[in-house]
Amino acid sequence: MSHIRNITPAEIAAFKTNGVVHLKKLFDPEWVSMLQELADSVLENPGKLANELAYKSVEGRFFSDTFLWHQNDEFKKFIYHSPAAEIVRQVMQSNKINIIFDQLLIKEPNTNEPTAWHHDLTYWPIKGPNVVTLWLALDDVTDQTGSMEFIKGSHLWGERYHPVAFVDPTKYNTPEPPVPDIDNRREEFEFIQFDYTPGDCTIHDGLLVHAAGGNRSHTQRRRAYVTRWAGDNVIYDPRPNIQKMLWEPAINKGAPLDSELWPVIWPKDYTSINSMTAPFPSSGLTQSDIGERNTGCTPFAFSKLSRTPKFLTLITAAATAGRIGASAPS
């Protein structure tokens, strides 16, 4: 299974200028079908890192789950064998591509919960000019069902905004200024919004300001599989009071991301300069202890992972404390 066409110079130029590019039908239907079934399986059987984000809505459901590829062979297959890494490489024109993490975002019908204005990069312990999000639609998506709005060119403002906490307003305590009051100053900005069919995606810059409305439809779901990627010249930048990753990578501050947490996906024959085992902080648990959470397209059945009390204790405590899980949902 491969992507259908290469990225055009016009699409690369649109990404550089606007901060986002809409790419249609680059993923074969087999990938889309696999992810649709996986999304429903995860929704029925949430993992320890899942979050319910519709805390203001009386109806509906806004669901998130993260770090799926580390726990599930089918998501891992997508990360390593789908065209996603090659697509973001072409868009960013980078020489190598690291996966940061993946995420399911599902807004069910009648979910009024909006996604506040934010940009992605300030949530994460990384820094550099080539960080993107690939947002892959698994359903038809329109303004009515919560299609994202992007502020054209906002990635070029030279600003880094305070990360917005979507459940606990006190979660992030960082020094950046807040995102401007976009909704009360809409006449000052130029907005971009797209309609999607299943298999369409957008790729947006990590500093592009964006938001999404609720799903106002009474019948149409809005499922998306979201992957976060880094290209050239992105380094590890651990900072306090931001989103925690699944574990702390065993690399130094300022080093390239190459690690078991953030492996190089493209090119496939890349030799990492940081090849080592990454320990979980204060636990003695390494990535090799995680095991795999296996599934076809049926409810999850944990394998080695589910029988590792040390891992479950660690993940449960971390998720309960809000150290990992919710991240810049759109």
Q: Is residue 4 part of a domain?
A: no
For residue 66, the cross-strand partners are: 103
In the prediction, which pLDDT does 235 show?
A: 98
pLDDT band of residue 215 (cuts 50, 70, 90) is: very high
What number is the average pLDDT over the span 283-293?
Answer: 35
Show Cβ contacts of residue 321 under 8 Å, excluding neighbours closer than 6 positions.
Answer: none
In the prediction, which pLDDT does 290 show?
A: 36
Q: Is residue 255 part of a domain?
A: yes
Residues of the chain with pLDDT > 70, as a percent, come to: 79
On whether the CB atoms of residues 287 and 247 are closer than 8 A, the answer is: yes
Overall pTM > 0.95: no
Residue 1 has pLDDT above 80, yes or no: no
What number is the average pLDDT over the span 217-221?
Answer: 97
What number is the average pLDDT over the span 152-171?
Answer: 86
Q: Is residue 326 part of a domain?
A: no
Dihedral of the alpha carbons of 161, 244, 77, 300, in degrees to the nearest 10: -120
Q: Out of 49-58, 249-258, 287-296, which region has the weakest mean confidence (pLDDT)?
A: 287-296
Question: What's the mean pLDDT when you consider all of the chain?
Answer: 85
Q: Is residue 329 part of a domain?
A: no
pLDDT band of residue 48 (cuts 50, 70, 90) is: confident
CA 14/CA 22 separation, integer angstroms: 9
Domain count across the chain: 1
Q: Out of 51-60, 243-252, 266-275, 294-303, which region has the weakest mean confidence (pLDDT)?
A: 294-303
Q: Is residue 116 part of a domain?
A: yes
In the prediction, which pLDDT does 328 show?
A: 66
In the prediction, which pLDDT does 31 show?
A: 97
- In terms of phi and psi (left: phi > 0; alpha: psi -120 to 50; beta: otherwise), the region of 88 is alpha
Q: Is residue 96 part of a domain?
A: yes
On whether the CB atoms of residues 146 and 212 are closer than 8 A, the answer is: yes
Of the two residues 239 and 166, the one the predictor is more confident about is 239
CA 142/CA 246 separation, integer angstroms: 32
pLDDT band of residue 304 (cuts 50, 70, 90) is: very low
pLDDT tens by residue, 70-119: 999 999 999 999 999 999 999 999 999 999 999 999 999 999 999 999 99
pLDDT band of residue 308 (cuts 50, 70, 90) is: very low
Q: Is residue 77 part of a domain?
A: yes
Structural domain containing residue 65: 9-320
* Number of other residues whose CB lies within 10 A of the CB of residue 240: 8
Tokens of residue 103, six digits: 């995420």
Q: Is residue 27 part of a domain?
A: yes
Task: Indicate which CATH number applies to the domain containing 69.
Answer: 2.60.120.620
Q: Out of 88-92, 214-218, 323-327, which region has the weakest mean confidence (pLDDT)?
A: 323-327
In the prediction, which pLDDT does 172 show?
A: 81
In the prediction, which pLDDT does 274 show?
A: 54
